[in-house]
Structure 1
């Protein structure tokens, strides 16, 4: 093994070990607490991914609490990072290969990423799985079908973790296919359709195999959209309930930040919400019938609601005090799992909180950067992993435009990681610097516009 690659491996191992020790045994938020309870009982519902509950239960042989899942997330994250460092060094010429390797290391050490990986989250597990799978494909030789098969299986497993996983996984999965299947646009389109099938089926099949109970999680999006349509149209579009003045109640409950007031766990749940609407939504043509009727009757109100929420979701035209911060400590839990005090971790938390107020912490900027990268190199035909990552990050980021119900940076962890790696590898190419000036200007325009608009909004 070449000495530079051996140095990278040792450095990554040390960083992973330090990361694990610093966040041991792992931050547990309310989501993780609920998931761990189901992992212990072996009885799952589908509010959070049952596949993760099952996995956590299997990891219980290594110890109780969040520590085994923390180790898995760190192994995936730093394993994938190490593979991408290796790929970046191979793509470089001589000593020049060290610059992208160092930049990838800096991205991996982002305080925001360190905290997210140190927190037991399906988003962190998902991002780690995609990092590992894409890294395997980035270093795999053309005939290494076993590595490509392993990467494909990891991607299909990752698709069991998020309902909107397909846009993120599909561009990467296409890299696992033979080059001939991507050579022309018709072949690429046909391959994409076929590759999407296992990704689409992964989540429902996993839920069925694990006998997960229906929780009604899909109603959260329907209820939030109905609330948003009602707020911007001034019309009651909910099914009939016993709540007086539903328009006024909804106006007081709706927030473009999240749907939490409609849920049952908030400090002041809305008079119209999940519990009151669960049964009425089953009347008529069902929840999607109510949703479709409201969208068709008030398309502008629906668009206003979705754009307003997407803006908060991306931390774009907002004030930083109006959007959620990172979870920096474990929430109270029945098992008493918590992190001991640490001055280093406190420093990381302060740095992450500050970064969220800068363009480096705005998902909107990373999404704009991804768009710019696709302006430079849009084609997947040559199988460049950097292009696949750019497509993956951009498509996944935009999937939250129609499908999101909350605004937290963790939802965009994969977009930030994927676009960051793609940017390092793309901008390090000689061909990028040789591109026509008009194309370079067009590629830079989305980031410049987002940064300027975001800064002005915060003044």
Structure 2
């Protein structure tokens, strides 16, 4: 009886496996899109394993290994990685999360066009498109934010095209993913809040109510960020506010000729130092880690106060905050010139070529770039594939798609084209375009560096909008928006694009 029971179950298991294999082969045979994306995903994961974890990411990894988290970088990512390390020490897990989310989102939206070989090849080309290829295997707060919003937006648009009802699983997954986006980056709420509002409250209300709701929620997230970081995630205060406040103070002083800072030891000529060291490119030229020509003297003085106890840290924060507010209120035109010059450098709209730092880093692996020998126990550097070595020697900065204003104008075009429409697909496309657009515009007020990587989330959403337009037409034989709104969108964005290219 025991023998018969065993044979019966073995035959049943063999039959199920045979059916699974046949169905899988049949699935792949008629789904070249999946095959193309999946094979590219496997190659990227294998060739660039374990991903690139340097600079900011290495600090988060170091915190996850040693069991602490700071609020300069994402305390949430640090705690997630710490949880992952509790279960496994497979280093590629950190890369697997954003890479899989990006590829999954690409498949979800592209299958609305077709599951054939041509669409598959297009998706492979997208993954190897220089601005995507430069970031997709680099583990950053920006790539986590980009992949999560890209996946959620792809799910939203896919459901809108097919007019499927949103499931409880979708609400749970998208809610968790977008709330995580709030804390991946300090400005992550800019891109995630509109998507969250559209999912849970709808995007049917008059425009003013949509945006007021988004604004209130963004303010709420910003106001509660300290509670989440310090109380829930148990992070220590790394004084991240110094980057924005000191950059704005220095930029305003540069344009106004007046420094609102109190006197700091060792820098009798603050204004002269600021004029010599300040650059609209990034705050790093006057940052604590830049010792060239004493350019870090002022920032280092304020930043070092964090090691002198909570009372001294609070005192110096108040001093810097007062100087920041005084700079903005007393010299608003100088502040505006500073912010506009930085934003122009960030989006590269005019007067600046090539793009600023189109490539984040050249190495692959877990590397502490400032002192590679200091953390040998957790350093893991590998030799990158030959394709990567060839890629990083290309003239990336002069390629048009590395200039964020291109993504901004694509998003603006789709936003204007769908602004006056009420059907589900166009409303969804409108909110996706709006979230990517407002995220870029937000850097006008909070940007402290013009690195290309900061625009990566909006770049992915601009690609998503283009694929969604083709998918919608493929499924319904309808064009997004209306003829009138598309003409308005084109008449605004096309001239701006041409002006940007010429200038």
Question: Does TM, scored on the shorter chain, surpass 0.5?
Answer: yes
Task: Quote how far apart the aligned CAs of 1:321 are.
Answer: 4.7
Q: Report what 1:373 is aligned to.
A: 414
1:304 and 2:337 matched: yes
With 411-420 and 341-350 compared, the bigger mean Cα shift is at 341-350
Q: TM-score, normalised by structure 1?
A: 0.87
Q: Report what 1:132 is aligned to.
A: 151
Q: Report what 2:433 is aligned to.
A: 390
Checking the alignment, whether the CA contact within 8 Å between 1:159 and 1:202 is kept in structure 2 is: no
Task: Quote how far apart the aligned CAs of 1:451 are.
Answer: 3.8
Task: Quote how far apart the aligned CAs of 1:325 are.
Answer: 3.6
Task: Quote how far apart the aligned CAs of 1:227 are.
Answer: 0.2
Q: Report what 2:489 is aligned to.
A: 443
Checking the alignment, whether the CA contact within 8 Å between 1:315 and 1:364 is kept in structure 2 is: yes
Q: Report what 2:136 is aligned to.
A: 117
* Residues 290-439 of structure 1: pairs in structure 2 closer than 5 A: 290-321=323-354, 323-326=356-359, 327-330=361-364, 331=367, 332=369, 333=372, 334-335=375-376, 336-350=379-393, 353-354=395-396, 356-378=397-419, 382-384=423-425, 385-426=428-469, 429=473, 431-432=478-479, 435-436=482-483, 439=485
* Residues 13-412 of structure 1: pairs in structure 2 closer than 5 A: 13-61=38-86, 64=89, 66-86=91-111, 88-89=112-113, 103-140=122-159, 141-177=164-200, 182=204, 188=210, 192=214, 199-200=221-222, 203-207=225-229, 208-242=231-265, 243-268=267-292, 270-278=295-303, 282=315, 286-321=319-354, 323-326=356-359, 327-330=361-364, 331=367, 332=369, 333=372, 334-335=375-376, 336-350=379-393, 353-354=395-396, 356-378=397-419, 382-384=423-425, 385-412=428-455
Partner Cα separation in structure 2 for residue 191 and residue 324 of structure 1: 35
Which stretches of structure 1, 4 residues or longer, exceed 6 Å deviation after superposition?
97-101
Checking the alignment, whether the CA contact within 8 Å between 2:48 and 2:384 is kept in structure 1 is: no
What SS does the aligned partner of 1:28 have? strand
Structure of higher CA gyration radius: 2
What SS does the aligned partner of 1:241 have? coil
Partner Cα separation in structure 2 for residue 276 and residue 264 of structure 1: 8
What is the number of equivalent residue pairs in this alignment? 447
Partner Cα separation in structure 1 for residue 324 and residue 32 of structure 2: 55
Task: Quote how far apart the aligned CAs of 1:404 are.
Answer: 0.7
Runs (5+) with no aligned partner, structure 1: none
Distance 1:130 1:143, change over 3 A: closer
Checking the alignment, whether the CA contact within 8 Å between 2:290 and 2:296 is kept in structure 1 is: no
Checking the alignment, whether the CA contact within 8 Å between 2:414 and 2:429 is kept in structure 1 is: no
Q: CA RMSD in A?
A: 3.1
Checking the alignment, whether the CA contact within 8 Å between 2:418 and 2:480 is kept in structure 1 is: no
Distance 1:371 1:186, change over 3 A: closer
Task: Quote how far apart the aligned CAs of 1:148 are.
Answer: 2.4
Checking the alignment, whether the CA contact within 8 Å between 2:355 and 2:398 is kept in structure 1 is: no
Checking the alignment, whether the CA contact within 8 Å between 1:122 and 1:161 is kept in structure 2 is: yes
Distance 1:186 1:227, change over 3 A: closer
Q: TM-score, normalised by structure 2?
A: 0.79
Distance 1:85 1:33, change over 3 A: same
Partner Cα separation in structure 1 for residue 432 and residue 317 of structure 2: 43
Partner Cα separation in structure 1 for residue 420 and residue 138 of structure 2: 35
